[in-house]
Every structure is written in structure tokens, then in C-alpha cells.
Amino acid sequence: MLRLRPYKSADAKTILSWVKDEKSFHQWCADRLGNYPPSAETLNAHYEEGAMLPFTAYDESGLVGHFFLRFMNEEKTSIRIGFVIVDSAKRGKGYGKQMIQLALKYAFEFLQAENVSLGVFENNPAAYRCYKAAGFKDLPTTHVCHLLGEDWNCLELDCNRTDWQL
Ligand SMILES: CC(C)(COP(=O)(O)OP(=O)(O)OC[C@H]1O[C@@H](n2cnc3c(N)ncnc32)[C@H](O)[C@@H]1OP(=O)(O)O)[C@@H](O)C(=O)NCCC(=O)NCCS
């Protein structure tokens, strides 16, 4: 059974080993962790600022995935999810969808959020499908990020408490 626990700095090396090339590195974290390849120190420094709640997903097979939650407003009712990743050897088995569903449950039930949002690059259909399968809906807003010498369209998705409860 997939479970969540708080991220520990010792998880960084394993999580980063799931990022296999420069394009998938930027699809995962945009430009937030500098240049490829990322170091464990960089990821840990990112979280040491304290603004994010990073999680590690695990089951009997070991570490399975990772993501963070971040409050987007003072009332802490709006949450952003980011750095979503599943072990490269365990993709396509339903873990991503399950992990996002656990993240939504945590955000809505424990953190009492009203809304959870995220951004996903259009050139990342696996991630887009995973979020849609977990209950996210498309927003009309998009923006462009300049990465690897190209313009990447970033789609905005969100999930409201009311939709999630249905
Ligand atoms: C995105 C990611 C977390 C998805 O995890 P996963 O465990 O492979 O996804 P799942 O097996 O749970 O699949 C979820 C849904 O996405 C679909 N999907 C999965 N991989 C797919 C692919 N390569 N192409 C199209 N659809 C795909 C599945 O069919 C499933 O849809 P369904 O429930 O309607 O059948 C994983 O691919 C990953 O870690 N990618 C690298 C990091 C990254 O890009 N993160 C996104 C940052 S925004």
C-alpha cells in the first residue's frame, strides 16, 4: 500500500537518480533547481528555506515517489503541488495517480485546503494524463517558459475541494 511520509534529506540521492536526462529534468522542475544534473545539496537547500512541505511516497518495495505542497495564500486555503516524480523503474503502474490522490486527500482533509493547483508542460503528456486521472481539471490560463533554447507551453490545472468530494 502506498503511503506518504515527510521528506528527509537522505531521500535526495534516490529521488534525483530517477531524473535520467536534461529534458526530463526541466519537465520535472522547470528552472527551479538550476542546471542538469541536479545535486542532492541543491534539492535539500531548496527545501531548507521552509516554504514547502516535501513528501516521500513509499511502499513495501521502498521509495516510490516525491512531491511538495506549498501554501499560495495567507489563509493557507490554496495549495500548489510541485516536483512530482515517480521512480523511473516504477512508472506506468498507477503509482503516480495514487500518489497524487494521496496528496489531494492530505491537502483537503488534513490541511483543509479549498483548492490545489499545479503547472505541467504541454510536452509532458504522461504527467498531464496522470493529473487528469487523479481528478485535476484544465484551467484556461497558460504561460510560456524558455527552456533548453525552446518555448515550452505550461498548462495550469486545478482541483477544488467541491469537485474532489464528488
Ligand atoms: C508523471 C509521473 C509522475 C506519472 O507517474 P506514473 O506512475 O507513471 O503514472 P500512472 O501509472 O499512475 O498513470 C497515470 C495516468 O497517466 C497515464 N500515463 C502514464 N504514463 C503515460 C505516458 N507515458 N503517456 C500517456 N499517458 C500516460 C496512465 O495511462 C494513467 O491514466 P489512466 O488512469 O486514465 O489510465 C511519472 O511519469 C514521472 O515521474 N515523470 C517524470 C517526472 C515528471 O515529469 N513529473 C511531472 C512534473 S509536472
Residue-by-residue pLDDT tens, the chain, 166 positions: 999 999 999 999 999 999 999 999 999 999 999 999 999 999 999 999 889 999 999 999 999 999 999 999 999 999 999 999 999 999 999 999 999 999 999 999 999 999 999 999 999 999 999 999 999 999 999 999 999 999 999 999 999 999 887 6
Structural class in CATH, domain 3-118? alpha beta
Q: Is the dihedral of CA 131, 61, 68, 37 positive or negative?
A: negative
For ligand 1, pick from 91, 128, 142 the residue to mutate: most ligand atoms within 8 Å of CB.
Answer: 91
3-state helix, strand, coil in the chain (%, to 5): 35, 35, 30
Q: Kindly give the distance from the C-alpha atom of residue 85 to the centroid of ligand 1, in angstroms, as a whole number.
A: 9
Q: How far is CA 67 from CA 106, 116, 118, 138, 142, in A?
A: 12, 13, 11, 20, 22
156 and 132 Cβ atoms separated by less than 8 Å? no
Does the global pTM surpass 0.85? Answer: yes
